[in-house]
Every structure is written in C-alpha cells, then in structure tokens.
Amino acid sequence: MNAPVNPKKLIKGGLHDWEVVIGMEIHAQVTSRSKLFSGASTAFGAEPNDNVSLVDAAMPGMLPVINTECVAQAVRTGLGLKAKINLRSVFDRKNYFYPDLPQGYQISQYKDPIVGEGEVLVDLPDGESITVGIERLHLEQDAGKSLHDQAPNQSFVDLNRSGVALMEIVSRPDLRSSEEAKAYVTKLRTILRYLGTCDGDMEKGNLRADVNVSVRKPGDPLGTRCEIKNVNSIRFIGQAIETEARRQIAIIEDGGTISQETRLFDPGKGETRSMRSKEEAHDYRYFPDPDLLPLEFDQAYVDGLAAGLPELPDAKKARFVADFGLSAYDAGVLVAERASADFYEAVAKGRDGKVAANWVINELFGRLNKEGLGIDQSPVSADQLGSIIDLIGEGTISGKIAKDLFEIVWTEGGDPRAVVEIRGMKQVTDTGAIETAVDEIIAKNPDKVAQAKEKPTLLGWFVGQTMKATGGKANPAAVNALLKAKLGIE
C-alpha cells in the first residue's frame, strides 16, 4: 500500500492529482457437477427450477452436506494463488430475507475461511509487473434468481443457481488504476482456468466482481470507499472504476465528503448510482452454521492436491522464455490461455521456438481474432502448422508461399506437405532452371541491365521479375545470388 506512487497512474483533478485505490471481491463459480451442499446439478441453461433439490428449496428438516469436490477446488485455487490453506475452516450463516434465498440465510465462511493470504503477479501492458495481495478466499452458496418480467404484478423465482458453490476471492486494496484492476481480473481468470476450478465465463455470470473504489491525495491515508456491486465484464470493471473515481474526486473538490455505500454501475448511462448507504446496510447476524461441523482436513490432503496441479501461467511463461528463447511479451501472450500455450508447445516441439511463436502469434492468433474464433476452434491444427514451418525450414517452400499454404490449409484443410505436392508449390532450388529464367529477363531488358550497374537498387526489380516468371517458387536466396553475379552488382 505504501509502494511509491506512479505518477502515470494518477488522475488529474482541478486542485491536484488524485490516486485511486481499488480492492476487489471476485465471485467465481466453482466448476463442479453438483452444488455446494446438495446433489442438484449445476448445469447452465436448464428450464427454471429444474435443478433444485429439497435442500436448495429449503424444505423443512433438510440439511446441507458439503460437496468434497468443491472443497478440493477451493484448495487447488488457494494453491494457485500461493496462499495459506487453512486445515480447519468454519461455515457460517449470513442471515437476510430475500425471495431468491430460500433458507433465509446464505451459508458462507466468515471468520475462518478455507484459504488465507496469497498473491497474484500481474503483468501490465507497459511491461511493468505488480504483485496484488490476496486477503482470503472462502466458499459460499450462490443465490437463486428473481424474474420480474414474467407477469405484470408478480415476481417469479428460479432456484437453479441457488446453492451453487462460489469462491469469493478478496484482494487487498493494492490496485491503483482501472488498467491494473482489469489486468488483475484477467490474470486471476487465467489462473482459475488453468486450474480448472472456474470457467471464468463472465457472460454467464460465472465470474463477477464487486469493486471497492476510493480516492486520495497521493501519500494521504485511505479515503472512504464505495463498493460497486456485481460488475460482470472486464471492460465494465474499467469503466466503473473510472466513472466512480471521477465522481468521488468531483465531490471532494467541491468540498463534499464521500459516504460509504454500495453502488451499482449502469453501463448504458455510464454512471454509478447508490444502492444502499452504510446505515441501510444489512446486519447479517453471522454465526457458525450448527448443521455443519467445522471443515477439517490434513496437510497430506493438501499435498495430494498440490501434486496434481497443472503448470501455472507464471511458471509456464518463465519456461517459455528460458527454453524457447521467447521474449517475455510473446511468452505472456502465449500463456494467457492454457489452450494457446498447449497449442504453441505442440507446434514448437522439435522446432525453432521463436519461429513457432511468430507463426502462432502473428498468423494463427491474428487470423483467429479476425474471425472471432477461440484457439479450440482453430481450423488449423498444431500438427498442420508444424508441417508448414517444417516445409519452410527444409527449404521446400518460401515464407511467402507458406502464407498462401496457411490460407489453403485454413480454408480447405489437408496435409500441408501433400498440398504442396499436389499444387506444385515447391520452391525451385535448381539453379539451372532459375538461371534460364534470369538469362531470359536479362536478354529482354538490356536498358535495365545498363542502369542497374549505376543503380544497384534496381536489383529488386530483377528479383521480382524472376519470381514472377517462376510462379513465386524460386528460392529467393538463389535468385539474389545469381542476379548479383550476372549483373555484376556487389
């Protein structure tokens, strides 16, 4: 918190510059087949109230039973955040009335969460890295959904989500700009997806953020914060922070004070508005849930889960830099998604890592982005791309032809080597054939030959003509060498 202030991140005010301080609570839906305390399915998209057990509907006498897979997922996530795993944690009841909360309380973890302090390393677009502290991670039940648009004078309730496991991941107020906040959520999501503990799908609401924002004069103590609830896209997180920070600065510069409250971000209007003040805040009357014993496991259980963890993005990035000689930036791009990293590794295996990275990042990602496709939807497989790179490496095709080949494989598929054969795309390295073409061009253009002796840059014109004559298949190096010799250019 007392890290040196980076002037680039300050917001210009009327009186002086302002520093924005941000902390986040991320609600990540645990990837599991059934809910946190019941056997009902967590499948998305079912008809309303199809995935509701007696426990989820809070029928009289029903009792929660912890889903051990959700516990394992929380521990894996804690390990991925380099956090302290608490071998004993406690489930509490958070009491409040709401129609989509059938029990009249949410089962959550209050004083004794399953995961304690950890950290996330976040790379920023300008190449700088920051470490964001994690205060805690706890398990809790999701609520159901109120449907207000089904009847004019009634609301309906869909309990499919009721009881689904969430991990609430609370960061320290270590973020200093909307860029940092966005980068943090992006990185956290990457880690969760690597771990397979949350799919990170914000459109489905499987990852939501509550954003705490305050502003201060650099060096001052923390200002009063406002919490912006339930922001559901990374872009909106950035917008909400910018909007809220400017609102607070305007109030303070006008001589006002910020009152602690919960606010909502309206992306349509580009504003945040008050939801409830501190005085209206619920008294949740937390107490340990007497239906559940404390959650206890031993270190061996944690070690077992740790042994089964996949390589995480930071480690993978470091390995890509070390083993493949990639730049930190390229490595960062490749590891942002586990599937991309896996794809790259498959391409790079036994090949030049840098060449592979160029092809994956520039050609493949470029094309995928243009078409709005994910890596798992790529029409070109790692094997196909690898073959293309091999064909260049062994001199069978030129880089230029390779791009054409990539295009053919993208649209039509097929084994690149076979395509090259069938379509006669092989590079001509037979100097005899090239020489014939070169001689012909020289014979036809005596004026250009004369000029070339004065102006060696005309060589390019001759190269172009030769390539044209050979259908682009001539080996460019061979063409160059021959032309230079015949034209007498050094």
> Do residues 284 and 98 touch, judged by C-beta distance below 8 A?
no
Closest residue by Cα to residue 175 from 25, 2, 20: 20
62 forms part of the interface with other proteins (CB under 8 A) = yes
Shorter beta-carbon distance to other proteins: residue 95 or 429: 95
The sign of the CA dihedral 293, 294, 300, 301 is positive
User: Which residue among 16, 33, 235, 285 contacts other proteins (CB under 8 A)?
Assistant: 285
DSSP characters over 428-465? B--HHHHHHHHHHHHHH-HHHHHHHHH-GGGHHHHHHH
241 forms part of the interface with other proteins (CB under 8 A) = no
The distance from CA 359 to its chain's CA centroid, rounded to whole angstroms, is: 21
User: Which residue among 75, 132, 134, 157 contacts other proteins (CB under 8 A)?
Assistant: 157
292 forms part of the interface with other proteins (CB under 8 A) = yes
104 forms part of the interface with other proteins (CB under 8 A) = yes
> Do residues 169 and 195 touch, judged by C-beta distance below 8 A?
no
CA atoms within 13 A on the CB side of 283: 2
Can you tell me the distance from the alpha carbon of 284 to that of 455, in angstroms, rounded to the nearest whole number?
A: 84
296 forms part of the interface with other proteins (CB under 8 A) = no
DSSP characters over 6-23? -GGGPEE-SSSEEEEEEE
Span from 17-25, 196-204, 279-287, 348-356 in contact with other proteins (CB under 8 A): 279-287
Closest residue by Cα to residue 86 from 68, 111, 107, 69: 111
Structure tokens at 275: 């939801």
The percent of the chain in helix, strand and coil, each rounded to the nearest 5, is 40, 20, 40
How many chain residues are in contact with other proteins, going by CB under 8 A?
A: 29
Shorter beta-carbon distance to other proteins: residue 111 or 273: 111
Least distance to other proteins from the beta carbon of 211, Å? 24
Shorter beta-carbon distance to other proteins: residue 25 or 100: 100
315 forms part of the interface with other proteins (CB under 8 A) = no
The sign of the CA dihedral 13, 18, 23, 28 is positive
Least distance to other proteins from the beta carbon of 282, Å? 10
Shorter beta-carbon distance to other proteins: residue 5 or 63: 63
Span from 57-65, 170-178, 205-213, 449-457 in contact with other proteins (CB under 8 A): 57-65
Shorter beta-carbon distance to other proteins: residue 295 or 438: 295
User: Which residue among 93, 176, 316, 473 contacts other proteins (CB under 8 A)?
Assistant: 93
450 forms part of the interface with other proteins (CB under 8 A) = no
61 forms part of the interface with other proteins (CB under 8 A) = yes
DSSP class of residue 375 equals G
152 forms part of the interface with other proteins (CB under 8 A) = no
| Residue whose entry in the numeric block shows the structure tokens 């036809």 | 444
Shorter beta-carbon distance to other proteins: residue 286 or 461: 286
287 forms part of the interface with other proteins (CB under 8 A) = yes
Can you tell me the distance from the alpha carbon of 16 to that of 229, in angstroms, rounded to the nearest whole number?
A: 29
Taking CB under 8 A as the criterion, which residues in 63-92 touch other proteins?
A: 63-66
436 forms part of the interface with other proteins (CB under 8 A) = no
Least distance to other proteins from the beta carbon of 144, Å? 10
Least distance to other proteins from the beta carbon of 165, Å? 16
Shorter beta-carbon distance to other proteins: residue 204 or 278: 278
Closest residue by Cα to residue 253 from 14, 19, 10: 14
Buried b (16+ CB within 10 A) or exposed e, 437-463: bbeebbeebeebbeebeeeeebbebbb
Residue numbers at the binding site for other proteins (CB under 8 A): 54, 57-66, 93, 95, 97, 99, 102-105, 155, 157, 283, 285-287, 290-293
